[in-house]
Amino acid sequence: MSGLLEIQHLSKSFDTVQVINDFSMEVTEGTICCLVGPNGAGKTTTIDLITGRVKPTSGKILFAGNDITGQDEHVTARAGIGRKFQVPAVLRDMTVRQNLEVAYSRQTNPFTNLFTFHPSGLKQKFDEIATLAGLTHRLEEFAGNLSHGETQWLEIGMVLMQEPRLLLMDEPIAGMTEAEIEKTTSIFKDLRKSATLVVVEHDMGFVREIADVVTVMHMGSLLAQGDIAAIEADARVRDVYLGEEEEAA
Protein backbone atom coordinates (compact mmCIF):
# COMPACT_ATOMS: atom_id res chain seq x y z
CA MET A 1 0.00 0.00 0.00
CA SER A 2 1.28 3.44 -0.84
CA GLY A 3 1.05 6.46 1.41
CA LEU A 4 -2.33 8.08 1.88
CA LEU A 5 -0.51 11.20 2.97
CA GLU A 6 2.87 12.13 1.62
CA ILE A 7 4.76 15.16 2.80
CA GLN A 8 7.78 16.02 0.67
CA HIS A 9 10.53 18.45 1.68
CA LEU A 10 8.13 20.76 3.42
CA SER A 11 9.42 24.09 4.71
CA LYS A 12 7.71 26.99 6.39
CA SER A 13 9.12 30.16 7.80
CA PHE A 14 7.30 32.90 9.65
CA ASP A 15 9.18 36.07 8.78
CA THR A 16 12.76 35.04 9.47
CA VAL A 17 12.06 32.08 11.71
CA GLN A 18 12.26 28.71 10.00
CA VAL A 19 9.62 26.63 11.79
CA ILE A 20 9.44 23.63 9.45
CA ASN A 21 12.67 22.67 7.77
CA ASP A 22 12.75 20.20 4.88
CA PHE A 23 10.34 17.84 6.62
CA SER A 24 9.18 14.69 4.85
CA MET A 25 6.95 11.89 6.03
CA GLU A 26 4.59 9.30 4.65
CA VAL A 27 1.52 7.87 6.32
CA THR A 28 0.26 4.47 5.17
CA GLU A 29 -3.48 4.00 4.74
CA GLY A 30 -5.15 2.21 7.63
CA THR A 31 -2.45 2.91 10.21
CA ILE A 32 -2.05 5.15 13.21
CA CYS A 33 0.98 7.39 13.02
CA CYS A 34 1.98 9.22 16.17
CA LEU A 35 3.75 12.50 15.70
CA VAL A 36 5.84 13.33 18.73
CA GLY A 37 8.50 15.84 19.65
CA PRO A 38 9.31 18.52 22.20
CA ASN A 39 7.15 21.62 22.50
CA GLY A 40 7.76 23.98 19.63
CA ALA A 41 9.03 21.19 17.36
CA GLY A 42 6.47 22.19 14.73
CA LYS A 43 3.81 19.46 15.11
CA THR A 44 0.84 21.79 15.17
CA THR A 45 2.33 23.83 12.32
CA THR A 46 2.65 20.63 10.28
CA ILE A 47 -1.07 19.99 10.80
CA ASP A 48 -1.79 23.62 9.88
CA LEU A 49 0.15 23.08 6.66
CA ILE A 50 -1.64 19.85 5.77
CA THR A 51 -5.08 21.35 6.35
CA GLY A 52 -4.26 24.58 4.53
CA ARG A 53 -4.53 26.91 7.49
CA VAL A 54 -1.01 28.11 6.71
CA LYS A 55 0.67 27.90 3.33
CA PRO A 56 4.13 26.33 3.00
CA THR A 57 7.19 28.28 1.89
CA SER A 58 8.24 25.30 -0.18
CA GLY A 59 7.61 21.58 -0.49
CA LYS A 60 4.69 19.44 -1.47
CA ILE A 61 1.80 17.65 0.23
CA LEU A 62 0.02 14.78 -1.51
CA PHE A 63 -3.24 13.30 -0.24
CA ALA A 64 -4.47 10.10 -1.88
CA GLY A 65 -2.21 10.89 -4.79
CA ASN A 66 -3.53 14.45 -5.29
CA ASP A 67 -1.47 17.55 -4.74
CA ILE A 68 -3.19 19.54 -1.98
CA THR A 69 -0.32 21.91 -1.24
CA GLY A 70 -1.60 25.33 -0.21
CA GLN A 71 -5.30 24.49 -0.72
CA ASP A 72 -7.86 26.26 1.47
CA GLU A 73 -9.17 24.67 4.65
CA HIS A 74 -12.58 23.79 3.25
CA VAL A 75 -10.99 22.14 0.23
CA THR A 76 -8.76 19.84 2.26
CA ALA A 77 -11.69 19.08 4.54
CA ARG A 78 -13.84 18.09 1.57
CA ALA A 79 -11.02 15.98 0.21
CA GLY A 80 -11.38 13.90 3.38
CA ILE A 81 -9.08 15.36 6.01
CA GLY A 82 -10.61 15.93 9.44
CA ARG A 83 -8.91 17.83 12.20
CA LYS A 84 -9.16 18.09 15.96
CA PHE A 85 -7.48 21.17 17.41
CA GLN A 86 -4.94 21.28 20.21
CA VAL A 87 -7.08 23.77 22.11
CA PRO A 88 -10.49 22.07 21.79
CA ALA A 89 -12.49 24.08 19.26
CA VAL A 90 -16.24 23.57 19.41
CA LEU A 91 -19.06 25.98 18.58
CA ARG A 92 -19.62 27.26 22.10
CA ASP A 93 -22.88 29.14 21.52
CA MET A 94 -24.54 26.16 19.89
CA THR A 95 -25.91 23.01 21.47
CA VAL A 96 -24.10 19.70 21.40
CA ARG A 97 -26.73 18.49 18.94
CA GLN A 98 -26.15 21.44 16.60
CA ASN A 99 -22.38 20.99 16.81
CA LEU A 100 -22.67 17.40 15.65
CA GLU A 101 -25.26 18.22 12.99
CA VAL A 102 -23.23 20.99 11.43
CA ALA A 103 -20.17 18.74 11.39
CA TYR A 104 -22.10 16.27 9.22
CA SER A 105 -20.98 18.07 6.09
CA ARG A 106 -21.84 15.72 3.23
CA GLN A 107 -23.45 18.62 1.41
CA THR A 108 -21.48 21.86 1.54
CA ASN A 109 -23.08 23.88 -1.27
CA PRO A 110 -24.89 26.91 0.23
CA PHE A 111 -27.67 26.87 -2.38
CA THR A 112 -28.44 23.19 -1.97
CA ASN A 113 -28.39 23.65 1.78
CA LEU A 114 -31.00 26.41 1.55
CA PHE A 115 -33.43 23.68 0.56
CA THR A 116 -32.15 20.97 2.89
CA PHE A 117 -33.97 20.40 6.15
CA HIS A 118 -33.21 16.78 6.93
CA PRO A 119 -29.87 15.73 5.41
CA SER A 120 -30.06 12.10 4.39
CA GLY A 121 -28.25 9.70 6.66
CA LEU A 122 -27.85 12.27 9.40
CA LYS A 123 -30.07 10.61 11.97
CA GLN A 124 -28.25 7.29 11.88
CA LYS A 125 -24.77 8.80 11.95
CA PHE A 126 -25.83 11.20 14.68
CA ASP A 127 -27.09 8.46 16.97
CA GLU A 128 -23.96 6.42 16.38
CA ILE A 129 -21.54 9.24 17.14
CA ALA A 130 -23.49 10.75 20.04
CA THR A 131 -23.46 7.33 21.70
CA LEU A 132 -19.79 6.76 20.93
CA ALA A 133 -18.86 10.16 22.38
CA GLY A 134 -21.03 9.47 25.43
CA LEU A 135 -22.97 12.69 24.98
CA THR A 136 -26.53 11.38 24.51
CA HIS A 137 -27.67 12.92 27.80
CA ARG A 138 -26.07 16.31 27.01
CA LEU A 139 -27.48 16.95 23.52
CA GLU A 140 -29.41 20.13 24.37
CA GLU A 141 -26.60 21.62 26.46
CA PHE A 142 -24.64 24.53 25.03
CA ALA A 143 -21.16 23.39 24.09
CA GLY A 144 -19.69 26.29 26.07
CA ASN A 145 -21.06 24.71 29.26
CA LEU A 146 -19.36 21.33 28.82
CA SER A 147 -16.51 20.16 31.02
CA HIS A 148 -13.05 19.94 29.49
CA GLY A 149 -13.30 16.19 28.96
CA GLU A 150 -16.75 16.45 27.38
CA THR A 151 -15.49 19.20 25.09
CA GLN A 152 -12.69 16.93 23.91
CA TRP A 153 -15.26 14.22 23.20
CA LEU A 154 -17.55 16.58 21.39
CA GLU A 155 -14.74 17.68 19.12
CA ILE A 156 -13.70 14.10 18.43
CA GLY A 157 -17.37 13.42 17.70
CA MET A 158 -17.47 16.34 15.26
CA VAL A 159 -14.43 15.04 13.39
CA LEU A 160 -16.05 11.60 13.20
CA MET A 161 -19.32 13.08 11.87
CA GLN A 162 -17.28 14.26 8.89
CA GLU A 163 -16.31 10.64 8.16
CA PRO A 164 -12.84 11.68 7.01
CA ARG A 165 -10.33 9.34 5.43
CA LEU A 166 -7.53 10.95 7.38
CA LEU A 167 -7.92 12.20 10.93
CA LEU A 168 -5.42 14.64 12.37
CA MET A 169 -5.68 14.66 16.14
CA ASP A 170 -3.71 17.35 17.95
CA GLU A 171 -3.23 16.22 21.58
CA PRO A 172 -6.62 14.49 21.86
CA ILE A 173 -6.23 13.11 25.39
CA ALA A 174 -4.93 16.24 27.11
CA GLY A 175 -6.97 16.70 30.28
CA MET A 176 -8.70 13.31 30.08
CA THR A 177 -9.02 10.93 33.02
CA GLU A 178 -7.48 7.42 32.96
CA ALA A 179 -10.83 5.86 32.08
CA GLU A 180 -11.40 8.34 29.26
CA ILE A 181 -7.91 7.69 27.87
CA GLU A 182 -8.64 3.97 27.85
CA LYS A 183 -11.86 4.59 25.93
CA THR A 184 -10.02 6.82 23.45
CA THR A 185 -7.42 4.11 22.93
CA SER A 186 -10.02 1.54 22.00
CA ILE A 187 -11.94 3.97 19.76
CA PHE A 188 -8.79 4.97 17.90
CA LYS A 189 -7.83 1.36 17.35
CA ASP A 190 -11.33 0.74 16.03
CA LEU A 191 -11.12 3.72 13.68
CA ARG A 192 -8.06 2.28 12.04
CA LYS A 193 -10.34 -0.21 10.25
CA SER A 194 -12.00 2.56 8.26
CA ALA A 195 -9.61 5.51 8.44
CA THR A 196 -6.05 6.64 8.85
CA LEU A 197 -4.91 8.61 11.87
CA VAL A 198 -2.12 11.03 12.64
CA VAL A 199 -2.04 11.63 16.38
CA VAL A 200 0.10 14.26 18.06
CA GLU A 201 0.65 13.20 21.64
CA HIS A 202 3.08 13.66 24.52
CA ASP A 203 1.88 10.77 26.64
CA MET A 204 4.30 7.98 25.69
CA GLY A 205 2.13 5.38 27.40
CA PHE A 206 -0.72 6.25 25.07
CA VAL A 207 1.60 6.35 22.06
CA ARG A 208 2.91 2.89 22.94
CA GLU A 209 -0.68 1.59 23.02
CA ILE A 210 -1.88 2.91 19.69
CA ALA A 211 1.02 3.71 17.37
CA ASP A 212 1.85 1.62 14.32
CA VAL A 213 4.53 4.11 13.40
CA VAL A 214 6.10 6.87 15.45
CA THR A 215 7.50 9.98 13.80
CA VAL A 216 9.72 12.21 15.88
CA MET A 217 10.09 15.88 15.00
CA HIS A 218 12.75 18.17 16.34
CA MET A 219 13.14 21.84 15.42
CA GLY A 220 10.99 21.46 12.35
CA SER A 221 12.82 18.46 10.91
CA LEU A 222 12.37 14.72 10.94
CA LEU A 223 14.50 13.25 13.68
CA ALA A 224 13.50 9.60 13.49
CA GLN A 225 10.73 7.35 12.26
CA GLY A 226 9.96 3.73 13.07
CA ASP A 227 8.02 1.44 15.36
CA ILE A 228 7.81 2.30 19.02
CA ALA A 229 10.56 -0.07 20.12
CA ALA A 230 13.03 1.35 17.61
CA ILE A 231 12.16 4.91 18.58
CA GLU A 232 12.55 4.26 22.28
CA ALA A 233 15.92 2.69 21.64
CA ASP A 234 17.12 5.56 19.42
CA ALA A 235 19.88 7.49 21.15
CA ARG A 236 19.14 10.81 19.43
CA VAL A 237 15.46 10.63 20.36
CA ARG A 238 16.38 9.88 23.97
CA ASP A 239 18.63 12.90 23.89
CA VAL A 240 16.25 15.54 22.62
CA TYR A 241 12.87 14.23 23.62
CA LEU A 242 12.40 11.15 25.73
CA GLY A 243 15.12 12.14 28.17
CA GLU A 244 13.26 15.33 28.74
CA GLU A 245 10.04 13.40 29.34
CA GLU A 246 11.68 11.11 31.86
CA GLU A 247 13.20 14.00 33.72
CA ALA A 248 9.82 15.65 33.87
CA ALA A 249 8.16 12.47 35.13
Partner 1 sequence: MGNIYHDKKLQWLAYAVFFAAIGIVPLFVGDAFLLNQLATYGIYAMLALSISLCWGFGGILNLGQGISFGLGAYGMAMTMQMQTQTDSNPIPPFMLNNSLEHLPWFWEPFSSTAGGLIFAVAVPTFFCAVFGSIMFRARVSGVFFTIMTLAMLSAFYTIILDQQAYTGGANGLTPPASLQIGSFEIDPYSATAYWIVFALLCVATVLAKLLTQSSFGLVTQAIRDDAERVRFLGYNVAGYETAIYTISGMIAAIAGCCWVMLVQYVSPAQLDVSLSLSMVIWAAIGGRNSLLWAMIGAFLIQGGQSYLGDQFLSTWLLLLGGFFIVVVRFLPNGLASLAEAGLGWLSARLPSKSGRAIESVTAEEGA
Ligand X SMILES: Nc1ncnc2c1ncn2[C@@H]1O[C@H](COP(=O)(O)OP(=O)(O)O)[C@@H](O)[C@H]1O
Q: How many residues does the chain have?
A: 249
Is residue 98 close enough to count as binding partner 1 by CB under 8 A?
yes
Name the residue whose CB lies closest to Mg ion.
Answer: 44
Counting other chains too, the contacts that 134-140 makes at CB distance below 8 Å and 24 or more residues apart are 134/183, 135/96, 138/96, 139/95, 139/96, 139/97, 140/95, 140/96, 140/97
Is residue 158 close enough to count as binding partner 1 by CB under 8 A?
yes
Beta pairing, strands 3-14 & 81-84: unpaired
Is residue 172 close enough to count as binding ligand X by CB under 6 A?
no
Question: Hey, CA dihedral for 216, 153, 28, 26, is it positive or negative?
Answer: negative
Is residue 94 close enough to count as binding partner 1 by CB under 8 A?
yes
Tell me how far, at minimum, the Cβ of 80 lies from partner 1, in Å. 9
Is residue 44 close enough to count as binding Mg ion by CB under 5 A?
yes
List the beta bridge partners of residue 197: 32, 167
Q: Which one among 9, 40, 58, 239 touches ligand X, defined by CB under 6 A?
A: 40
Q: From CA 248, how far away is CA 241, in angstroms rounded? A: 11
DSSP 8-state class, residue 137: G
Q: Which one among 25, 34, 37, 214 touches ligand X, defined by CB under 6 A?
A: 37
Residue closer to partner 1 (CB basis): 93 or 247: 93
Which residues lie near partner 1 (CB under 8 A)?
51, 53, 72-74, 77-78, 82-83, 85, 89-94, 98, 101-103, 105, 107-108, 110-111, 113-117, 119, 140, 158, 162
